[in-house]
Amino acid sequence: MPFPDFADPSVWISLLTLSFLEIVLGVDNIIFISIVSNKLPESQQPKARSLGLLLAMVFRILLLLTITWIIKLTNPVFTIPFIEENGAPIGISWKDIILLLGGIFLIAKSTLEIHHKLEKSATPKNKVVYTAFSAVILQIVLVDAVFSFDSILTAIGLVDNVIIMIIAVIISMLVMIAFAGAISAFINRNPTLQMLALAFLIVIGIMLIAQGFHQQISKSYIYTAMAFSLFVELLNMRLRRNVEKVQLNTGESEDEK
């Protein structure tokens, strides 16, 4: 494991590029952690977010130290005769199986969360049901494991030096830990954003399943759609606030009369 020469500008370019990509790839992870940790008492939520991301960092570093094993995971385990790729049956590897299971988990979990939020109005306001801390951490670790494989394979494709990969993972995780609380609070304050985030987690789940069957979907399309939808939702939030202010001022004027 050769130590990188930090006097070489290309090393810094590789490190910054990979760190940036790791942060971008971790956005959907933060969204999931924010929604799942919201099921805990407010005092435990920061601890769950930080612990979940720290476990993800440890898991990714361990994966980077076993790159040879990860590469072997891309070797086909079996083939599916009725699905072809380049005129031949596609081979399904352990990596594909992990992506398929992760996609199914994300779709199922997000769908259940949407159903839970739609039915939440039927629950008395004074009755708050919390999820066990260990159950939340387990869900975070499972999703982190799926996203870790995608993240690590991206790192392997961009950088050759394992130490640079590890430093980039640590930097990206520290950035995500720093901003996870703010993102979580922002999402939790706006129920419509929660629904939007859950909808995109379903889209990401579908993308993972497609990747498991070797159907490549450009992530730039998904992230562009997410950014545009978020922009539209922010405009809607601004519009709702303006309408509420007008209604409040109108009500005050009528009271004065």
Task: Express each pLDDT in 28-71 by its tens digit.
Answer: 777 778 778 877 887 888 888 888 888 878 887 887 777 667 66
Residue ranges of E strands in the chain? 76-85, 88-93
Residue 149 burial class via C-beta count within 10 angstroms: exposed 0-12, middle 13-18, buried 19 and up? buried
Q: What is the mean pLDDT of residues 13-20?
A: 77
Please give the pLDDT value at position 244: 77
Confidence (pLDDT) at 245: 79
Whether the full predicted model's pTM is greater than 0.85, yes or no, is: no
Residue 3 has pLDDT above 80, yes or no: no
Tell me the H-state helices in 2-89: 9-25, 27-37, 45-64, 67-72
Please check the confidence at residue 121 and state whether its pLDDT lies above 60.
no
Per-residue confidence (pLDDT) for residue 157, from 0 to 100: 60
Q: Average pLDDT over the chain, rounded to whole?
A: 76
Q: Is the pLDDT of residue 175 over 70?
A: yes
Secondary structure letter of residue 122 according to DSSP: G
Asked whether the predicted pLDDT for residue 254 surpasses 60, the reply is no
Query: What are the CA-CA distances from residue 61 to residues 82, 86, 140, 163, 181 (Å)?
Result: 37, 35, 17, 10, 23
pLDDT (mean) for 118-146: 69
Going by C-alpha positions, the residue among 197, 78, 188, 205 that lies closest to residue 146 is 205
Q: How far is CA 25 from CA 39, 75, 112, in A?
A: 24, 24, 24
Four-CA torsion 14, 15, 19, 20, nearest 10 degrees? -50
